[in-house]
Amino acid sequence: MIPAISLSTNITVTTNITVTSTPKAHKHKRPLNSTLKSLTKAGKLDEALRVIESPPSKSVASEPDLEAYSLFLHSCISRKSLEHGQRLYLHLLLSRDKGNYDLLKNPTIKTKFITLFSVCGLIDEALGVFEDGLEHELVPESVWVAMAIGFSKNGYSKEALLIYCGMLSRLVRPGNFAFSMALKACADLCELRVGKAVHAQIIKCNEEPDQVVNNSLLRLYTECGCFDEVLRVFEEMPQQNVVSWNSLIAGFVHRKQVFESLDTFRRMQGEGIGFSWVTLTTVLPICSQLTALNSGKEIHAQIVKSTRKPDVPVLNSLVDMYAKCGATDYSRRVFDGMQSKDLTSWNTMLTGYAVNGCLQKAMEIFNELVESGIRPDAVTFIALLSGCSHAGLTGEGQRLFNEMKKNYGLSPSVEHYACLVDMLGRAGRIKEALEVVKFMPMKPIGSVWGSLLNSCRLHGNVSLGEAIAEQLFELEPNNPGNYVLLSNIYANAGMWDNVKIVRDMMERRGMTKEAGCSWVQIKNRIHTFVAGGGFEFRNSAEYKKVWSQLMDAMEEIGYVPNTGVVLHDVNEETKSIWLCGHSERLATVFSLIHSSAGVPIRITKNLRVCVDCHTWMKIVSSATGRVIVLRDTNRFHHFRGGACSCKDYW
DNA sequence: ATAGGGTTAG
């Protein structure tokens, strides 16, 4: 059975097949072939071509044989040497026109040309080779598969599947190569239905799928979120290798089961599977997400200990992990040590500096990037612009925004406009920000209105905030953050009735504000604190001791809680008690108790830091002499000696 | 000839 696939195509596959007789082996004489082969093996493709293209003399055969050409093409493919391949192709076409035996009909040669053109990105040329004679010949599986892989590798997964279907419709039986290719295409498209049909074919063909096919199944089900299937295939396959385990970890990451994925990584070491660079590039982002610096460092140690040379992606994710843990110095060390860098390496380092508020250094990296001759891309500018926005460098940001198109030929996307709007709004230039929204060439997305609303909150603009919120509620009715922002605006203005109206609206629409939650890694454990929770900890003697010491220090400095951040209409005393229960404070006290002096405290929060906690943190950093690195939903705050890296602008 | 990965965004 052929699975029903509804995909649009411009490829027509005809089904009337005429079988031509098998070509007779091409006669050849040794000398020419051995010359050609040795030239090819020595990498002297130019000379080899000269031999091929030279007019036939009587002393040698008119054409070299299949084997010699195969070898030559193989060499072209591994070097991605399009030019040599094209010249051979032209030569064979001319030779065919002269009435010589048509070597382009030979499946091996055909497969190699298809592969060569595909790896060089010339998918149309590859298709031309493939379709040449398709109607009259019985094309073996290998040719179909080469064409399909060509499509798939160039990002044309639908077309790859259509080739697969074309093959089935001609009753060519798919083998393991065809199966894994088809499954990859389905995984790339998230085409679960077709993928399951292929799975069914694999089962029905009654031959044991090989490991690659099983791994492709794992990836399909991982991508499509069918975790039960992932587990089943994983358990049932005769042997799991590194790739299988990597898929399993990726499956957990996909489901945001960070602890399970770390656990699987450990189990894989326990079972003697080891790891590959891909394993580490899958696991490192978990450490980034969790700000689990200790775990990240352990992985770094594995890389250092290894005798293999780490590849670019694994080092990129290492740079990112350190940056996401607020440790840009470590990032920089890894970055500087990289022997080769790609644009992602630069973007990652740049972004790391930008989100940590080190705009100066981000600009230095940017300049170095430009000097090294690499062209920055859209991501580079999002990092720079959002960095400028958060650092309050409006002029610099505007300059970059304009340079983007003028000097680098990049037209700003809606995300870039969002950054521009954000930086103007934050600086209190809300009117100009609105002008940008009005004249930008595309429809604003939620985040554009969102940053405007945030600007209204920062600058206490109630009426404009209301108007913007209205737009936003229409665009993103189910984003609780927008409602919270509006109620913040009302609360700051003391308009408690309106706060209540917004709260009721949220409740009616079934939305809840995410509970504030902070966590910190101490040794290998992640300790989580929820706002208003942690009672057991707060009742402990050690907590009370540290807390009262902090209170004394606060009093000395003259700290008065800013209860304005409590968005409920309750009395002042209750408000200040609630503030003490904010999750970042619990995490801070916990860290003060459980980590040694001199080590920076690294806390991560799922929401934005509140203004009062921000003040509180500054004081704690000066009273205890500790560096506190707080990562909130979008920024880093480095508290040191009573000041914050964000200069109170965020 | 087939399977696995990293960066931005209120």
Q: Give the CA-to-C1' distance from A143 to B6 in angstroms.
A: 33
pLDDT band at A476 (very low <50, low <70, confident <90, very high): confident
> Is A200 among the domain residues?
no
Q: Using the CA of A277, which nucleotide's C1' is the nearest one?
A: B5
Average pLDDT over residues A271-283: 92
**Residues A495, A548 within the same domain:** no
Which neighbouring-strand residues pair with A520? Answer: A527
For A400-457, write each residue's pLDDT tens digit: 999 999 999 999 999 999 999 999 999 999 999 999 999 999 988 888 999 999 899 8
For A559-599, write each residue's pLDDT tens digit: 777 766 666 666 767 766 777 778 888 899 999 999 888 88
What is the residue type of A436? V
Nucleotides of B under 7 A from a protein CB: 1-10
Residue A548 confidence (pLDDT) = 86
Residue A87 in contact with residue A49, Cβ under 8 Å? yes
Q: Using the CA of A119, which nucleotide's C1' is the nearest one?
A: B1
Q: Give the CA-to-C1' distance from A118 to B3 in angstroms.
A: 19
Q: Give the CA-to-C1' distance from A277 to B4 in angstroms.
A: 10
Higher pLDDT, residue A596 or A558 = A596
Task: Give the residue nearest to nucleotide B1 (CA to C1').
Answer: A146
Residue A63 confidence (pLDDT) = 63
Which neighbouring-strand residues pair with A628? Answer: A601, A639
**Residues A529, A636 within the same domain:** yes
Asked if pLDDT for residue A554 goes beyond 50, the answer is yes
Task: Give the residue nearest to nucleotide B8 (CA to C1').
Answer: A379
CA A359 vs. chain centroid, Å, equals 23
Q: Using the CA of A383, which nucleotide's C1' is the nearest one?
A: B8
Alpha helices in A476-595 (DSSP H): 480-492, 496-508, 535-538, 541-557, 572-580, 583-594
Asked if pLDDT for residue A62 goes beyond 60, the answer is no
Residue A182 confidence (pLDDT) = 96
> Is A468 among the domain residues?
yes
Residue A567 confidence (pLDDT) = 60
> Is A4 among the domain residues?
no
Average pLDDT over residues A250-259: 88
Q: DSSP string spanning A293-339?
A: HHHHHHHHHHHHH-SSPP-HHHHHHHHHHHHHTT-HHHHHHHHHH-S
Residue A433 confidence (pLDDT) = 93
Average pLDDT over residues A54-79: 74
The encoded tokens of residue A589 equal 């006290």
> Is A610 among the domain residues?
yes
Note the pTM of the prediction, 2 decimals.
Answer: 0.84
**Residues A531, A549 within the same domain:** yes
For A77-99, write each residue's pLDDT tens digit: 988 888 888 988 988 888 888 87
Task: Give the residue nearest to nucleotide B4 (CA to C1').
Answer: A243
Task: Give the residue nearest to nucleotide B9 (CA to C1').
Answer: A415
pLDDT band at A365 (very low <50, low <70, confident <90, very high): very high
Q: Using the CA of A481, which nucleotide's C1' is the nearest one?
A: B10
Residue A496 confidence (pLDDT) = 86
Cα distances (angstroms) measured from residue A445 to each of A110, A408, A418, A421, A484: 48, 25, 8, 12, 19
Top mean pLDDT of A64-73, A344-353, A511-520, A612-621 is at: A344-353
Question: How many structural domains comprise chain A?
Answer: 2
Query: What torsion do the CA atoms of A344, A340, A364, A377 make, to the nearest 10 degrees?
Result: -30
Q: Give the CA-to-C1' distance from A350 to B7 in angstroms.
A: 9
**Residues A545, A435 within the same domain:** no
Q: Give the CA-to-C1' distance from A499 to B4 in angstroms.
A: 50
Average pLDDT over residues A501-518: 83
**Residues A493, A578 within the same domain:** no
Q: Using the CA of A314, which nucleotide's C1' is the nearest one?
A: B6
Q: DSSP string spanning A346-362?
A: HHHHHHHHHHTT-HHHH
Domain boundary among A455, A487, A508: A508
Domain boundary among A489, A508, A527: A508
- Domain hosting residue A585, numbered range: 517-644
Cα distances (angstroms) measured from residue A129 to each of A24, A84, A162: 22, 16, 17
Q: Give the CA-to-C1' distance from A131 to B2 in angstroms.
A: 22
**Residues A612, A500 within the same domain:** no
Residue A31 confidence (pLDDT) = 63
Average pLDDT over residues A56-70: 67
Q: Using the CA of A213, which nucleotide's C1' is the nearest one?
A: B3
Average pLDDT over residues A516-528: 86
Task: Round to whole Å and give the CA distance between A162 and A13.
Answer: 9
Residue A56 confidence (pLDDT) = 61
Task: Round to whole Å and give the CA distance between A291 and A333.
Answer: 18
**Residues A608, A587 within the same domain:** yes
Residue A16 confidence (pLDDT) = 38
Percent residues over pLDDT 90 in chain A: 46
Q: Which residue has the tokens 């209170």?
A: A551
Q: Using the CA of A78, which nucleotide's C1' is the nearest one?
A: B1
Domain boundary among A487, A508, A529: A508
Asked if pLDDT for residue A11 goes beyond 50, the answer is no
Question: What phi and psi values does residue A264 have, to the nearest 5 degrees?
Answer: -65, -40
Cα distances (angstroms) measured from residue A499 to each of A203, A479, A484, A488, A584: 60, 17, 9, 8, 25
What angle do the packed helices A258-270 and A277-290 form, to 10 degrees? Answer: 140
Average pLDDT over residues A531-542: 84
Q: Give the CA-to-C1' distance from A178 to B2 in angstroms.
A: 7
Q: Using the CA of A178, which nucleotide's C1' is the nearest one?
A: B2
Task: Give the residue nearest to nucleotide B5 (CA to C1').
Answer: A278
| Half-sphere exposure in the Cβ direction for A107 (13 Å, CA) | 12
- Range scoring the smallest mean pLDDT among A45-49, A436-440, A523-527, A620-624: A45-49
Asked if pLDDT for residue A353 goes beyond 80, the answer is yes
Task: Round to whole Å and give the CA distance between A558 and A257.
Answer: 44
For A602-612, write each residue's pLDDT tens digit: 999 988 888 88
Q: Give the CA-to-C1' distance from A608 to B10 in angstroms.
A: 11
Residue A28 confidence (pLDDT) = 44
**Residues A478, A454 within the same domain:** yes
Task: Give the residue nearest to nucleotide B2 (CA to C1').
Answer: A177
The encoded tokens of residue A624 equal 């205890």
Tally of CB atoms within 10 A around A48: 25
> Is A43 among the domain residues?
no
Terminal-residue alpha carbon distance, chain A: 60
**Residues A496, A556 within the same domain:** no
